[in-house]
Amino acid sequence: MTARIGVVTFPGSLDDRDTQRAIRLAGAEPVALWHKDKDLHQVDAVVLPGGFSYGDYLRAGAISRFSPVMETVIEQAKAGLPVLGICNGFQVLTEAHLLPGGMLGNDHLHFICRDQKLRVENTSSAWTVDYSAGQEIHIPLKNMDGRYVADEYTLDKLEAEGRVAFRYVDFNPNGSLRDIAGITNEAGNVVGLMPHPEHAVEPLVGTGRTDGLPFFTSILKKLVNA
C-alpha cells in the first residue's frame, strides 16, 4: 500500500491537478480534497496547492484559511500531519498561523514567472529529506504576492532553529526578507514555499528539470518508513 496524499481545491486553486500529477509521478496516490468538506478522507499528508484562491481578494490566502477543510488541516497539522503549502498554499499557512510571518506583494509590483535558483537549507523536514544540505536546485516561481516578511525576532528565531528551508540564490525575485523562499514549523511537519516544485517533475514540460520531485519522494519515504 502506498501513501495517500490529499490535495485541497479551494475556489480559485490553479495548480491542484498539477500537484496531483506530481504526487502520482512520485509513486503515491493523490486524493482530491474539497474546501467545503471537513473530512480529510484518511490521507497521510496534505498539500495546499498554488493559485489565486478567492482571487487573492482581501489578502492572499486570507479567505481560504477560514474554509471548513482548513479547520481539520489546522487541527491535524498541530498533531503532526505533514502539510506542504506551495505558493498560495504557503500564503494560506501563514494566514492560518501554522507558519510564522506573512506574505505581501512583490517589491517590484509585478507578477514574476521564472526558473528560480534555490538553496536547500533544511533536510530534516517531512518534505525535504531527499535533498542534501546546501544543494542548489532550480524550481519555477510564479507569484504576485511572494514577499516573505516577519519581524526581526521571528527571523532570527527561524535562522537559529534551522527552519529556513529554502533560500533564493543569485536573485531575490520578490523582496523576501533574508532571501527566504520557504520555511518549516518547529516540528518539521509543516513546510511552505513560494516556488512550485510540482512544475519541476518531468523533463519534457515546464523548465525541463526534475529538481522538484524530491519533495514528493521525501514525504513518501517518510510515510512508508513510518
Partner 1 sequence: MSRTPLDTVEHATATPDVELPWAELGLKKDEYERVVEILGRRPTGAELAMYSVMWSEHCSYKSSKVHLRQFGEKAPRSDALLVGIGENAGVVDVGQGYAVTFKVESHNHPSYVEPYQGAATGVGGIVRDIIAMGARPVAVVDPLRFGAADHPDTKRVLPGVVAGIGGYGNCLGLPNIGGEVVFDACYQGNPLVNAGAIGVMRHEDIHLAKASGAGNKVILYGARTGGDGIGGASILASETFDDAKPSKRPAVQVGDPFQEKLLIECTLEAFQEKLVVGIQDLGAAGLSCATSELASNGSGGMRVTLDDVPLRDSTLSPEEILMSESQERMCAVVEPEKVDRFLEICDKWDVIATVIGEVTDGDRLEIFWHGGKIVDVDPRTVAHDGPVYERPYARPSWQDALQADDANKLPRPQSSGELKDQVLKLVASPNQASKKWITSQYDHFVQGNTVLAQPEDSGMIRIDEETGLGVAIATDGNGRYAKLDPYHGAQLALAEAYRNVATTGAKPLAVSDCLNFGSPEDPAVMWQFAEAVRGLADACLQLGTPVTGGNVSLYNQTGEAAIHPTPVVAVLGVIDDVARRTPVAFQEEGQLLYLLGDTREEFGGSAWSQVVHDHLGGLPPKVDLERERLLAEILISASRDGMIDSAHDLSDGGLIQAVVESALLGGKGARLIVPDGLDAFTLLFSESAGRAVVAVPRSEELRFNDMCGARGLPATRIGVVDGDTVELQGEFTLPLEELRKAHEETIPALLA
Partner 2 sequence: MARVVVDVMLKPEILDPQGQAVQRALPRLGFEGISDVRQGKRFELEVDGPVDEAALARIHDLAESFLANTVIENFTVRVEEVAEAVK
CA 23 to chain centre: 13
Pick from 175, 209, 221, 223: which binds partner 2 (CB under 8 A)?
175
Three-state DSSP at 50 gives coil
38 lies in the site for partner 2, by CB under 8 A: no
When CB distances are held under 5 to 8 angstroms depending on the partner's kind, the choice from partner 1, partner 2, none that residue 14 binds is: partner 1
Q: Which is nearer to partner 2, 128 or 174 (by Cβ)?
A: 174
111 lies in the site for partner 2, by CB under 8 A: no
CA 90 to chain centre: 5
Question: Least separation, in Å, of the C-beta of 45 and partner 1?
Answer: 20
140 lies in the site for partner 1, by CB under 8 A: yes
Q: Which is nearer to partner 1, 140 or 214 (by Cβ)?
A: 140
Q: Which of 7-15, 68-76, 119-127, 154-162 is the region at the interface with partner 1 (rule: CB under 8 A)?
A: 7-15
Three-state DSSP at 119 gives strand
Sign of CA dihedral 198, 192, 61, 146: negative
When CB distances are held under 5 to 8 angstroms depending on the partner's kind, the choice from partner 1, partner 2, none that residue 37 binds is: none
Site string for partner 1, 15-34 (x = CB under 8 A): x-xx--xx------------
Question: Least separation, in Å, of the C-beta of 109 and partner 2?
Answer: 5
Phi, psi of 60 (to 5 degrees): -55, 125
Pick from 151, 156, 161, 186: which binds partner 2 (CB under 8 A)?
151
What is the enclosing helix (H) or strand (E) of 94?
helix 88-95
112 lies in the site for partner 1, by CB under 8 A: yes
Cα–Cα distance, 94 to 96 (Å, whole number): 5
Residue with cell 495548480: 15
Phi-psi region of 181 (alpha: psi -120 to 50; beta: other; left: phi over 0): alpha
Pick from 2, 97, 114, 132: which binds partner 1 (CB under 8 A)?
114
Contact 13, 51 (CB under 8 A): yes
Give me the residues paired with residue 105 across strands. Answer: none
Three-state DSSP at 213 gives helix
Residue with cell 526581526: 152
89 lies in the site for partner 2, by CB under 8 A: no
Pick from 20, 94, 217, 218: which binds partner 2 (CB under 8 A)?
94
- Binding site residues, partner 1, CB under 8 A: 11-12, 14-15, 17-18, 21-22, 50-52, 54-57, 110-114, 140, 142, 144, 196, 198-199, 202, 204-207
